[in-house]
Amino acid sequence: MQINKNLKLGFTLVEIMIVVAIIGLLAAIAIPNFVKARTTAQMNACINNLRQIDSAKQQWALETRQATNASPTLSDIAPYLGRSGATAAAQTNLVCPAGGTTATFDTSYNILSVSQAPLCLILSTTHVLN
């Protein structure tokens, strides 16, 4: 007596389509959350850079006995930025993360006077030091 076993190994097209649909649904839920988290992280990093610039301005003004309307340059506050004290290091390390890979200190931030908070030149509406 001979038994016919009709074993079909593998997945059907419907099963594969269901798996792909589930993966697509999960990706549609996850990707916007990743984008929002990245934007929030960039904003927080920029605000922390603005705090560091403001602190460096205040230290510079106190140590050099400047008036509140004095406007320091990057070379004036570079020793107070805590990034090896060199202007070149400050320009390469202290940039707005939303500016991309071509951003420099000059294209990212405006130092302004001692009495004013520094400004982000990339996204000045959301990257604000309060």
The pTM assigned to this predicted structure is 0.76
Residues 6+ apart with CB under 8 A from 97: 41, 42, 45, 46
The pLDDT tens digits for 16-71 are 999 999 999 999 999 999 999 999 999 999 999 999 999 999 999 999 999 999 99
Dihedral sign, Cα of residue 47, residue 40, residue 120, residue 97? positive
**Rounded to a whole number, what is the largest CA-CA distance in the chain?**
106
CA distances from 25 to 11, 14, 33 (A): 21, 16, 13
